[in-house]
Amino acid sequence: MLNSNSQTLSILALHGPNLNLLGQREPGIYGSLTLPEINRLLEEEGVKLQAKLFPVQSNHEGVLVDTIHGALGKHQGILINAGAYTHTSVALRDAIAAVNLPTVEVHLSNIYRREDFRHHSYIAPVAIGQISGFGVQSYLLGLQALVDYLRVTN
């Protein structure tokens, strides 16, 4: 990677509501890949970056909060597509702030080109950064950026 730090990183890939329906859900907006296919591509990218991915999907806000809490001491970083909770959930934002793990926010679609209610993210202020609008590439770029950040800062 970028420096001498060559330990294998552990990354939580957290997928929020309705992302279990990717592939069949509004493919014109979200593309045709299923969530298992996206997780597979993330895993392959992780191999190149020496990072092990732990994917979790839930439609339930509390489960997502619990999963973020559980990342403490287990994972070094979080890659998150919070789906619609991006725009509504103070609880998810607070959970990320509470565990204080480096987090990258990703979206398949460009949330700023869509409805006004999607323009605000509660996650963005507690994330290292956000990648939005590149389909599955948003996830892969997000993973690269997260690993890069962890290698440089650790």
Position of tokens 């202020």? 125
Is residue 75 at the binding interface for ligand DQA, with CB under 6 A as the rule? Answer: no
Q: Which is nearer to ligand DQA, 53 or 131 (CB)?
A: 131
Token pair 């979080």: residue: 78
Considering the rule CB under 6 A, would residue 111 count as an interface residue with ligand DQA? Answer: yes
142 binds ligand DQA (CB under 6 A): no
- The nearer residue to ligand DQA, 9 or 139, going by C-beta atoms, is 139
Told to judge if 30 belongs to the known catalytic residues of this protein, a careful annotator would answer: yes
Does 86 participate in binding ligand DQA (rule CB under 6 A)? yes
Give the active site residue among 30, 85, 122, 139.
30
- Determine, following the binding rule CB under 6 A, whether residue 68 of this chain makes contact with ligand DQA: no
83 binding ligand DQA? (CB under 6 A): yes
Distance CA 23, CA 57 (A): 15
Which residues participate in catalysis according to the annotation? 30, 107
